[in-house]
Amino acid sequence: MNTNKSSNFVQIKNIFESISNEYDFMNDLMTFRNHSKWKKEIAEIAIDSSPKRILDIATGTGDIAINLSKINGSKIEGIDVSGNMLKIARKKINDLKIENINLKTCEAENLVFDDNQFDIVSIGYGVRNFSNLEKGLSESYRVLKNDGKLIILETSIPENPIIKILYTLITRIYIPIIAFIFSGKTKAYLYLLDSTKNFPPKNRFIEMLYKTGFKKVESRKKLYGASTIYIVSK
């Protein structure tokens, strides 16, 4: 990892360490409570593959891993770079008495798992914050079984011009205001909003997935294109 990538990794890690306590609440406000529904949809997509081993990258406070844990016979590995986020995830998992989730600190670009280990790899709102996008996607591909699926939930910019204007107003006015009122960490959320703008457009991101080696990519728009679910087959 070069100096710029290393600096970016540290910055991203520090941001998530600092916003962990209000992260779930802010997600409710920013997505108008839709994120919970989309995270459940990831589990609904995954269940069609009858997965036994699942890796949830950027597991954060554990919402996706918890949804995936309801799949019969599944064992979930949840990883994140933020210890504070994992601490919240562990409390949720313990409170719910879930026994098939294992959490650990790990980078998406340097996974500690052998090749061809997982039936499903899921990533919720984490891909755009990879310090090295190509390396992170390559690592996800490496640990997936040959018939496995990568399921990604990520923010995106709407393509419809009218919806895009509304999206711009929300991201430039609404979100900074609620970030200031409810977290006092406006700069952190402005950085995360910038990461959405800097993330490759949908078509280019799909091209990157194919270039990584994946064979099929399906995308589903959410909230008029403000978020997208990618279903990617190896």
**CATH no. for residue 214?**
3.40.50.150
Please, what are the averages of pLDDT over each run of 10 residues along the chain (234 residues)? 61 83 86 93 95 97 97 97 96 97 96 97 95 96 97 94 92 88 84 85 96 97 94 97
Inside any domain, residue 167: no
pTM for the full model?
0.91
pLDDT at 4: 53
Number of domains in the chain: 1
In the chain, the N- to C-terminal Cα span, in Å, equals 26
Residue 166 in domain: no
Q: Is 104 inside a domain boundary?
A: yes
Residue 226 lies in a domain: yes
Beta carbons of 91 and 21 less than 8 angstroms apart: no
Whether residue 117 is contained in a domain is answered as: yes
pLDDT score of 1 = 45
Q: Which domain holds residue 90?
A: 3-20+34-157+200-233
